[in-house]
Amino acid sequence: MIPLQSAPFIHTANTVQKTMGTVLLALVPATVFNLYLFGLPALFLFIVTVASCVVVEAACLIVAKRPIQETLLDGSATLTGWLLAMSLPPWAPWWIGVLGAVFAIALAKQPFGGLGQNLFNPAMVARVALLISFPLAMTSWVLPHPLFSASAPGLVDAFSVTFQGQVPDAMSAASALGYVKTELSRGIPVSESIKQVPDLMDMALGYRSGSLGETSILLILAGGLFLIRRRIISWHTPVGLIGGIVVIASLFHFLDPARYASGTFHLFSGATFLGAFFIATDYVTAPVSKVGRFVFGMGCGLLTWVIRTFAGYPEGMAFAVLLMNSLTPIIDQYTRPRLFGRDRKGRPLAIQKGDRV
């Protein structure tokens, strides 16, 4: 007898590949603009990082004897590499990108079983591992030197920046968060140091130092809204994350403006928007239910603020995301929807009196 297939016999046209492709599409405007802002070294690093992720994934698949072509084509390695590149300093040396790829794919993704099985966000694992192992390389920020502008490095110079690690001292600059934190440790209150930081408009548009994903907030936001419109992500995680960080920051700023930066500062600096729309929304490592995702987003926002304010690192998004990843299973357990015909405790709904003869 022919083995028959079970219902349903029709399917949505959506596939994993299409989903990944749409996310990449949403990242393109911000990426292109930022590559323009930071010039050729950034472009080289970007290419090296993404390519390394794909190569490392292929190597892992060969070792594990899993099908190579269909797995590479699902686009998840490319997306991981892209997000990792977005979180690196744009003028970092090439080996940061390669090592990051190894950490992300060969450490945080494939050993768990590949797509869908990892517990922690691969790009964030890589970023954190690099940050802790190579703090200097990972915190050397530069101001934007747009392509075709006078201060942009030429091809040869760019090559030496990326592949020989020679960043001219004159070009380095601190990120806004880093500057505020350093000044605070020197005793200068936030309310003073904040005046030295680029204004909101510049931060929103991108003319400031930072990683590829931290600058040009508006383009990141546009990409994020596009994803929500296409129903790839829901509003719950971004609203939770942004709400979480703004509310707690504003609260503490209100209580002590000298010590705590404002909600808008926290909103527009660092990787808040990138995290809200692209990193915390990673399907695999976040809770599955809508309520769960909101809780997850809020937790990321709160933790990011805590780490930025009290911990040793100026930017806390990566750590916050990893900490919340570890809470995902328990969030899932407590945010299951109510079953039809049952109450929240699982008992059948009570019938109102007076319905029986």
Partner 1 sequence: MLLAVGSLTAMGVALGGLLGAAARFLAVEENPLEEELKAILPGSQCGQCGYVGCGQAAAALARGEAKVTICSPGGKAVAEALAKKLGVAVDLSGHVEKGPTYAVVLEEFCVGCTKCIKECSLDAVFGANKLMHSVIVDACHGCGKCAEVCPTEAIEMRPVEKTIKTWFWSKPERTQSSLH
Partner 2 sequence: MKLFPTRGGVHPQQRKDRTREQGITPLPMPEWLYIPLQQHVGSPAKVLVTPGDRVLKGQMIARCDGTISAAHHAPTSGTVETISDVTAPHPSGLSQTMIVIHSDGKDEWADLPPPLSDSADLAVIRSRVSDSGVVGMGGAVFPAAVKLDLGLRYKIDTLVLNGAECEPYVTCDDRIMREYSEEVIHGAQIIARVLGATRIVVGIEDNKPEAIEAMRRAATPHSEVQIFPVPAEYPMGYGHDLILAITGRETPVGKRTAEIGAVAYNVGTARAVDHAVRLGRPLISRVVTVAGGAIREPKNVEVPIGARVIDLVSFCGGFSESPACIVSGGPMMGQPLPSLETPVVKGASAVLALSAAEMAAKKEGPCIRCGACIDACPCGLVPVEMAALIRRENLKAAEKIGVADCIGCGSCSWVCPSHIPLVRYFHYANGQMGSQERDRRKNEYIRTLVEAHTQRMEKLAAAKRAAQAAKKAPARREEVTS
Interacting residue ranges for partner 2, rule: CB under 8 A? 1-2, 4-16, 18-19, 74, 76, 114-117, 283-284, 286, 288-290, 293, 332, 336-342, 346, 348-352, 354-357
Picked from partner 1, partner 2, none, the partner binding residue 312 (CB below 5 to 8 A depending on kind) is none
Give CA angle at 318 (269, 285), nearest 5°.
125
Complex with partner 2: residue 190 or 227, whichever CB lies closer:
227
Binding residue for partner 1, selected from 1, 2, 6, 154, defined by CB under 8 A: 6
Task: Compute the distance between CA of residue 176 and CA of residue 198 in angstroms, rounded to an integer.
Answer: 7
Task: Compute the distance between CA of residue 91 and CA of residue 77 in angstroms, rounded to an integer.
Answer: 22
CA 350, chain centre distance (Å): 45
Find the part of the chain contacting partner 1 (CB under 8 A) among 67-75, 80-88, 120-128, 136-144: 67-75
Picked from partner 2, partner 1, none, the partner binding residue 259 (CB below 5 to 8 A depending on kind) is none
Find the part of the chain contacting partner 1 (CB under 8 A) among 113-121, 162-170, 270-278, 322-330: 113-121
Using alpha carbons, select from 212, 189, 346, 207 the residue that is nearest to residue 274: 212
> At which residue do the structure tokens 């004897």 appear?
65
Complex with partner 1: residue 6 or 185, whichever CB lies closer:
6
| Residue 111 within binding range of partner 1, rule CB under 8 A | no
Complex with partner 2: residue 19 or 162, whichever CB lies closer:
19
Residue 21: CA count within 13 A, CB half-sphere:
8
**DSSP codes, 21-87:** HHHHHHHHHHHHHHHHHHHHHHHHHHHHHHHHHHHHHHHHHHHHT--HHHHHTTSHHHHHHHHHHHH
> At which residue do the structure tokens 């600059």 appear?
173
Picked from partner 1, partner 2, none, the partner binding residue 9 (CB below 5 to 8 A depending on kind) is partner 2
Using alpha carbons, select from 85, 77, 44, 45 the residue that is nearest to residue 58: 77
Complex with partner 1: residue 6 or 352, whichever CB lies closer:
6
- Distance in Å, CB of 249 to partner 2, minimum: 29
| Residue 116 within binding range of partner 1, rule CB under 8 A | yes
Can you give the binding site for partner 1, defined by CB under 8 A? 6, 66-67, 70-71, 113, 116-117
